[in-house]
Amino acid sequence: MQSPFPGKILLAGATFALCCATPLYAALGGPASAILNSGQVVTAPGHQLAQLPQGVQAQTVVTSQNVTITEFSRGGTVFAIRWDGPIIPDQSQLLGSYFPEYAAGMQARNPKGRNAPVQIRSQSLVAHVQGHMRAFSGSAYAPALVPAGLSVSTLGVEP
Amino acid sequence: MISWFLRFFVLVPLSVLLLNGCGGGGGSGSSTTSTGSVPTADCNAAATPPTLASNQALMSVSQNPSISSYSTVNLPYVTVTVCNGTNCKSIDHVVVDSGSYGLRLLHSVASPLGFSTAPTFYECAQFLSGYMWGGVYNATVQIAGEATSSPIPIEIIDDDNTPSMTPPPFSCTSGNSSIGTLNGIGGNGLLGVGPFIADNGNYYQCTGSTCITAVVPTASQVSNPVAFFAINNNGLIMQMPAVSGLACPTAAGSITFGIDTQTNNSLQNYSTLALDSSGNFTAAYSGQIFNSSFIDSGSNYNFLIIPGMNYDSNGNYRPTQYTTISPVTFTPNTGPAASITTSLGVIDPYVLNSTYTAVNDIAALGSAGSADFGMPFFYGKSIATVIAGHHVAEGNGPMYALH
């Protein structure tokens, strides 16, 4: 798929290269084990949820601001994330090296109003943010990292 | 302009009545979309301000005279008086937002009242289109004849880069744009009056240019001012006149404060809808189910997924003909099972007069699981909120009631 924002990704990548603090939890495309650095681990890392396809692991943390983040990994690499909570969590921490693409998409969009849902769909990232004050939710995945044959919607991640 | 479209479309209203009546005929809850003529309404009547009692404020949709770069479509404005001690200022063109909580004012507008020393807490108020960065200050808030009984936390948005204020940290901006400006808000501030009290927001404490996340007690969070009025503090009713399916230049409605506290705020004859702890309910139409749906005067479009309808690269739905979706059912996710059946109209916004600001029947792309019934949904309706923790004869907050 052709990225709708080919020119802006490079620009944003340069702009944001210095920004990102050490993630408090595993970032998209990063090692699942990084979640151990985070706040409260609700589901133990490495726990295999029964309904998940073979080889996919889910782990959940709750941040100090009551955002619940579930990360899906395979072979130790996070390929999809979903979250919900009263605020929008820091997307640079959630998306890691994919954040510049997210930021470029955000800058390129022309929202129809204050509450227009976010849908970023670029070559290597699909991200959604929706909801309203006190009740936001979102998801993101890296299509190239999703296990073959797996539909992310079965994980509660918006395709 | 008005006479132009009245001449053009005066022949159509009967077919609209038929449309509204036929959508639910599919049986077993099936929902249909149907196309047809555009509903009409009297724009002169829509523009006429209602007579107001002391617990009522004018809520009007019109072009903000301070904004020249775009049409302030579907932004409902109210005038708010804010006091810092005995120093007060009346601030017009504050946008009424039933989808957020608390009063947020531009520093450039509120600065005659002070609010310029570094605050204890900063807030990054988050919206899907961007953030509003500012400081938290205490102020008395007055709207029409109602006033908070003591100062409450409000956000003063740092739109003019006050030297004493710390700029937003990266975790606030996070790829987003600031909408904490006159053009970003479409007004001088935002009045969050949804069915809860505190905003559960994203707060910081800052030293110099360094900010860290702060957990702020509920009582110190930016909060819905209505909950702090002396008597009429359990909710409100937003009433807007009907507008033409082809939009109207302006529309004048009202906010009535309090529920079942005076003769003008009873919910008799309203249909109630309990809300979950997120302020959401389930909306269903066209065979789709959206379980995190909400009603929001601060959304200037209806944001929702409409199966099979074309939309452009900006997300505007552009049906080739005026389209009615019916029935649209609202059912609670929790609490009493009472549900509401309604319908939605959708028109291509590019056929409308671009200077008209009161526009119903426009929709833009939403998200899976969530339908946002925005300001277009308010025209021709009375929509009440009962704030969480309050109980009225018709039910318990948080809830909506529609009439």
| pLDDT (0 to 100) of residue A61 | 86
Provide the shortest C-alpha distance from residue A56 to chain B (in Å): 23
Chain A residues touching residue B128 (CB < 8 angstroms):
111, 114-118, 129-132
Angstrom CA distances, B29 to A62, B16, B34, B239, B304, stand at 39, 21, 16, 29, 20
CA distance B150 to B225: 10
Mean pLDDT, all residues of chain B: 91
Does the pLDDT of residue B24 top 60, yes or no?
no
**Pair of tokens at residue B48:** 């006429």
Chain A residues touching residue B300 (CB < 8 angstroms):
112-114
| pLDDT (0 to 100) of residue A48 | 53
| Contact residues, A window 16-45, toward B, CB-based 8 Å cutoff | 16, 19-21
| pLDDT (0 to 100) of residue B175 | 86
Chain B residues touching residue A19 (CB < 8 angstroms):
170
Cβ atoms of residues B345 and B351 within 8 Å: no
Instruction: Evaluate whether ipTM surpasses 0.85.
Output: yes
Provide the shortest C-alpha distance from residue B176 to chain A (in Å): 6
**Pair of tokens at residue A88:** 């929008």
Q: Which domains does chain B have, with CATH numbers?
A: 2-44+265-402 (no CATH), 56-228 (2.40.70)
Asked if A134 lies within 8 A of B366 by C-beta distance, the reply is no
Does the pLDDT of residue B30 top 60, yes or no?
no
CA distance A61 to A71: 9
Other Cβ atoms less than 10 A from the Cβ of B381: the count is 17
**Pair of tokens at residue B59:** 């809520």
What is the distance, to the nearest Å, from the Cα of residue A42 to the centroid of all Cα atoms in its chain?
18
Residue B163 φ then ψ, to 5°: -55, -30
Which residue in the block uniquely carries the two structure tokens 């007004």? B187
Interval B13-17 mean pLDDT = 30
Condensed to tens digits (0 to 9), the pLDDT of residues B92-124 reads 999 999 999 999 999 999 999 999 899 999 999
| pLDDT (0 to 100) of residue B27 | 34
Asked if A128 lies within 8 A of B101 by C-beta distance, the reply is no
Q: CA angle B158-B162-B166, nearest 5°?
A: 75
Mean pLDDT is lowest, of A50-54, A73-77, B2-6, B72-76, for B2-6
Cβ atoms of residues B78 and B68 within 8 Å: no
Does the pLDDT of residue B288 top 80, yes or no?
yes
Condensed to tens digits (0 to 9), the pLDDT of residues B296-351 reads 999 999 999 999 999 998 899 999 999 999 999 999 999 888 899 999 999 999 99
> Minimal Cα distance from A89: which residue of B?
B171
| pLDDT (0 to 100) of residue A108 | 87
Going residue by residue through chain A (159 aa), what tens digit of pLDDT does each one get? Answer: 333 333 333 333 333 333 334 445 668 988 887 664 555 555 555 555 656 777 898 888 888 888 999 999 999 899 999 999 999 999 998 999 999 999 999 988 877 677 789 999 998 999 999 999 999 999 999 999 999 999 999 898 999
Does the pLDDT of residue B11 top 70, yes or no?
no
Asked if A88 lies within 8 A of B202 by C-beta distance, the reply is yes
* Beta-strand pair B122-127/B56-61: unpaired
* pLDDT above 90: percentage of residues in chain B: 85
Closest CA to A74 of A56, A54, A50: A56
- DSSP letter, residue A38: S
Which residues, 6+ apart, have CB-to-CB distance to B394 below 8 Å?
B260, B267, B268, B270, B272, B386, B401
| Contact residues, B window 197-216, toward A, CB-based 8 Å cutoff | 199-202, 213, 215
Which residues, 6+ apart, have CB-to-CB distance to B355 below 8 Å?
B1, B63, B71, B249
> Minimal Cα distance from B201: which residue of A?
A87
| pLDDT (0 to 100) of residue B399 | 97
Q: Please, where are the H alpha helices in B215-291?
A: none
Condensed to tens digits (0 to 9), the pLDDT of residues B178-190 reads 999 999 999 999 9
Does the pLDDT of residue B271 top 50, yes or no?
yes
Q: Please, where are the H alpha helices in B107-204?
A: 107-110, 170-173, 182-185
Among the partner-chain residues B126, B185, B316, the one whose CB lies closest to the CB of A87 is B126
